[in-house]
Amino acid sequence: MHDKLREIERKYERLTEQMADPAVISDNARFQKVGKERHSLTALVETYRAFTQVERELNDQREILRGGDAELRELVKEEIPALERRVAELESTLKVLLLPKDPNDDRNVILEIRAGAGGDEAGLFAAELLRSYLRHAERRGWRFEMVDNSESGAGGIKDATLSISGDAVYSNLKYESGVHRVQRVPATETQGRIHTSTVTVSVLPEAEDIDVHLAEADILFEKFRSTGAGGQSVNTTDSAVRLTHKPTGVIVKCQQEKSQQKNRAQAMKMLRAKLFEIENEKQRKARDSARKSQVGTGDRSEKIRTYNFPQDRLTDHRIPYTRHNLPAVMDGDIEDVLTACRTHFQALALQAETQAGAA
């Protein structure tokens, strides 16, 4: 492991030198590429440097322990256990950071939320879950844009699609895909009975033009009149857009913008993301079906989480992980849940990597 980490550190130093090179600075595209690559190694290099420093301190203390000064030996005896724990912690962190990185982790995402079973109550919870993700995006300083939104009765939504951009958005949200279940007494319930409803969430890495080639002949373009609660462009112009990818049957629509051209551009972005995810899923299945069964893929059929309002409890069934204070969760305070998911799946990946290495 040390040899690999030293090579990564040397690469990091070379990239740092390149960022100070006038030839690189004058080439904006190259400068951004070098900076992005350097940034991706920063956490690993900083952790490795901290590890080597603590390891040196530990070796120095052990050397003193073997010496002849009785007073010094007593002092280092007290310090060595803490240093040993710190070395073990940093070594564990390094192993996680050295895991093969998901190439999509730094991408922006297309997030889709759909009401499932439960009628109006499912639509209401879909709207609340959408607000939770929007509030979390605000907390993180991410940018977001509503792409499509279909309202349902009682103030809920049938489905909504938004794009979220920022630092490592996919890395943070990719484990949100799946079925979210809510248990509570609906506002319309007169007998006080607890109802169970579901909402599906899909998080797709945003694809670039070079990732997915779309031939115009493969796309059926349709325009239609936008619908909604009102506004200058609603129910008055054919600005809404529906795209159908003929080879796969994938359909996307967008009606949020007043301009048909802007709606078409957003719809193309959604279509690329969906086709990119289809291709990624094919590769995942072909590459490692065993690991897929361990880690999961966020398939919509997987019930991943329950929000139990009478007990003020959120439970993630994959980890498992439980927390309380659902009002805060619905206000976007979900960083601990996202972190717990990442930590869990990283541990599974590390276990799989270790077993593969042993074999």
What gap in Å lies between CA 73 and CA 170, rounded to an integer?
Answer: 50
Q: In the chain, which stretches have pLDDT less than 50?
A: 230-235, 287-288, 290-301
Determine the pLDDT at residue 334: 96
What are the structural domain ranges in the chain?
2-97, 109-288+296-348
Determine the pLDDT at residue 258: 77
Q: Provide the β-strand partners of residue 144.
A: 164
If one looks up domain 109-288+296-348 in CATH, what number appears? 3.30.70.1660
Q: CATH topology for 2-97? A: Methane Monooxygenase Hydroxylase; Chain G, domain 1 (1.20.58)
Q: Token pair of 269, please?
A: 């972005």
Determine the pLDDT at residue 68: 67
Q: Which residues contact 356 (CB under 8 A, 6 or more apart)?
A: none
Phi and psi based region of residue 306 (left: phi greater than 0; alpha: psi -120 to 50; beta: remaining)? beta
Q: Token pair of 146, please?
A: 């509503």
Q: For residue 141, which amino acid is it?
A: G
Phi and psi based region of residue 192 (left: phi greater than 0; alpha: psi -120 to 50; beta: remaining)? left
The model scores a pTM over 0.95: no
Determine the pLDDT at residue 235: 46
Chain-wide mean pLDDT for the chain? Answer: 85
Q: Is 350 exposed, middle or buried (0-12, 13-18, 19+ CB in 10 A)?
A: middle
Determine the pLDDT at residue 74: 81
Contact (Cβ atoms closer than 8 angstroms) between residue 304 and residue 111:
no
Determine the pLDDT at residue 228: 57
Q: Are strands 143-151 and 250-254 parallel, antiparallel or unpaired?
A: unpaired
What gap in Å lies between CA 304 and CA 178, rounded to an integer?
Answer: 6
Q: Token pair of 86, please?
A: 């710190």
Q: Which residues contact 90 (CB under 8 A, 6 or more apart)?
A: 47, 50, 51, 54
